[in-house]
Amino acid sequence: MKINKFSPLLLAAAILVSVFPAFSQGDTFSDVNVLYSFDLPDVKWKMTTKPSATSPNVEYVYGDRFDGHLEVRKLTVAKDAVLTDVVRNEEQKLQFRPGFVAGREENFSGRLKGAIYNFEYVAAGRSMSGRFYFLRANDNTVYLIRFSGQKDPLRLLRNQTDSIARTFGVK
């Protein structure tokens, strides 16, 4: 008798567990003006800059710009360019930010292979960090996915930044 008494409760719990992940699902970014797409793991990511025929850049924020900011840029590089040199070139631009502290470079693999570059800096009196993904699409094209935000909130989003970069692909 006890089993019958709890079965409706177990059924309700099973339904909630199976339905709940659907509410936290993100979205897929794809646009006719760009040759790439990626999955957003959380609906909290909101587009702030939409790509156009003249500007293929897209930008998203995670709630507030200081919590998480995402930019996608397409870099045209020399055919024989080494990815480490592309990363160093970007680092030279970053070193003039107040409080800049270079981080380490890591290898990365998703739909596209590449590298990750981490760093810290100060903006508006806040400790900030950046996590840049350099993804090689072909011999002449590297996509740069820039994540920046306050140090602690961005660290909490690391699984999402990795997920976005892993799902980033060229059409």
CATH numbers and ranges of domains, the chain: 25-170 (3.40.1000.10)
* Residues 97-116: tens digit of each pLDDT: 999 999 999 999 999 999 99
What distance in Å separates the CA atoms of residue 83 and residue 134, rounded to the nearest whole number? 8
Residue 31, helix vs strand vs coil: coil
pLDDT band at 22 (very low <50, low <70, confident <90, very high): very low
Look at residue 17 and tell me whether its pLDDT is greater than 90: no
Reference 166, options 109, 84, 116; nearest CA is 109
Q: Which amino acid is at 29?
A: F
Reference 133, options 79, 49, 76, 71; nearest CA is 71
* Residues 34-90: tens digit of each pLDDT: 999 999 999 999 999 999 999 989 999 999 999 999 999 999 999 989 999 999 999
What does the longest C-alpha to C-alpha distance in the chain come to?
A: 74
Alpha helices in 45-143 (DSSP H): 83-94
